[in-house]
Amino acid sequence: MAVLAGVGAWTVCLSALTPSAVAQDAQSQQWYLKAMQAEKMWEVSTGKGVKVAVVDSGIDSSTPSLKGQVLPGKDVSRLPGSTETDKTGHGTTMAELIAGTGKSGSLKGLAPDAKIIPIRVSLKGTDGKTSWDPIIAGVRAAADTDAQIISMSIGNVAPDPHLLDAVKYAAKKGKLLLASAGNDGAKRNEPNYPAGYAYAAGVAATDESGKVADFSNTASRPDMAAPGVNIPSWCTETREDYCSGRNGTSAAAALASASAALLWSKHPDWTANQVLRVLLKTAGLQGKNVKPSKYIGYGSVRPRINLLEGEGDPGDPEISPLTNKKLGPPAKKSSDSSESGNADGAPDKVKVADSASDDDEGSAVLPVIGVGAGVVVLAGGGFAFARMRRKSGT
């Protein structure tokens, strides 16, 4: 869904290959719940007490899965309607993946007792001169709520200093930001933002076997991965049934956000830095002194390693595991120095020329062996994990 004419394209990061209706039988297709040992984790944590701001297309709180799960939010989309208006079903699906109750066979959230704060933004543009504004306003609006986690299943290949300002503003307010890495890995494979910024953790997509999906963007240098292939989702405006065969890093970002909610509910005194650090330390090759992978970062999220096995050192509450630096209080732009020319003084993870981007339509998985630098996939806990990649201190 293009938003920026002539500048770049905001896209939701969920696509489909010949989707078919699955009616209210969504849970039978949520393969990752068993793989992640969700039932066992729910005996320890269900996400209760944690609020997740979902910056997306709006959230229909009347679905069976979301009744009683959605709190008041904010609509900065400049479109007709309210936070309850979701023309695409994208935002509603993301909210259900995070905190759905699963009632009547609907989607069951990975953190079913978490609460959702909807932040509705424009995923379709109107004025190219102002279409950045709703996204930026959405991130800032999410930062000003009492949500601990900000889930962003959106992306744009064109970096913007004002978006970076907004992301850093949210991080400085103690929010944990997770963003989809993008779906153009098999095509242009250009960095996506906000996932490409060091203050947001980028999330890649994996399939049922734990392999990274070929559409999953690597240029955004993801920090972690989560399931993103064959995920049921709403596919009609009327919300009469779900569709199967949906793929994208959107779902992966939502499930990573839900994983964070499970950890934060179990450890309410932790900071965003500590929750993220444990997510990273318990992903992939746990305890191995290896570099992160450019394909899936530190590996696929495994909150069970902490919840069920008690592993994962939260570390320093003030130091970001992404930058290895202390954010400190918000600073004026004029006092910041910049390594990459961004307005708020925080360098990007990567540099990229402005260009347009479209949602990826593919769903095949990456062969893993023999692609680019080659990713070694190792089995573990129902998933396979690539070698870990350490993000630079940007």
* Active site residues per annotation: 56, 90, 250
DSSP 195-226: TTBTTSEEEEEE-TTSPBBTTS-STT--SEEE
Whether 29 contacts 105, CB under 8 Å: no
The single-letter DSSP state of residue 190 is: -
Give me 321's structure tokens. Answer: 């595991």
Cis ω for the linkage preceding 194 (within 30 of 0): yes
Task: Please identify which residue in the block is written with the tokens 């799960």.
Answer: 69
- Taking the C-alpha atoms of residue 3 and residue 126, their distance in angstroms, rounded to an integer, is 7
Whether 225 contacts 279, CB under 8 Å: no
Question: Under DSSP, is residue 141 helix (H, G, I), strand (E, B) or coil?
Answer: helix
> Which pairing describes strands 149-152 and 176-180: parallel, antiparallel, or unpaired?
parallel
- Taking the C-alpha atoms of residue 379 and residue 345, their distance in angstroms, rounded to an integer, is 40
- Give the torsion sign (CA, 206, 209, 214, 219): positive
Question: Under DSSP, is residue 130 helix (H, G, I), strand (E, B) or coil?
Answer: coil
- Taking the C-alpha atoms of residue 274 and residue 245, their distance in angstroms, rounded to an integer, is 35
C-alpha closest to that of 201 among 311, 132, 123, 296: 296
Give me 295's structure tokens. Answer: 């394909």
Angle between helices 272-281 and 249-266 (to 10 degrees): 110
First-to-last C-alpha distance (Å) of the chain? 29
- Taking the C-alpha atoms of residue 135 and residue 153, their distance in angstroms, rounded to an integer, is 12
Per-residue HEC secondary structure of 35-96 comes to HCCHHHHHCCCCCCCCEEEEEECCCCCCCCCCCCCECCCEECCCCCCCCCCCCCCHHHHHHH
Determine the Cα angle at 375 with ends 35 and 189, to 5°: 95
Give me 5's structure tokens. Answer: 């004419």
- Taking the C-alpha atoms of residue 291 and residue 390, their distance in angstroms, rounded to an integer, is 5
**Neighbouring-strand partners of residue 115:** 51
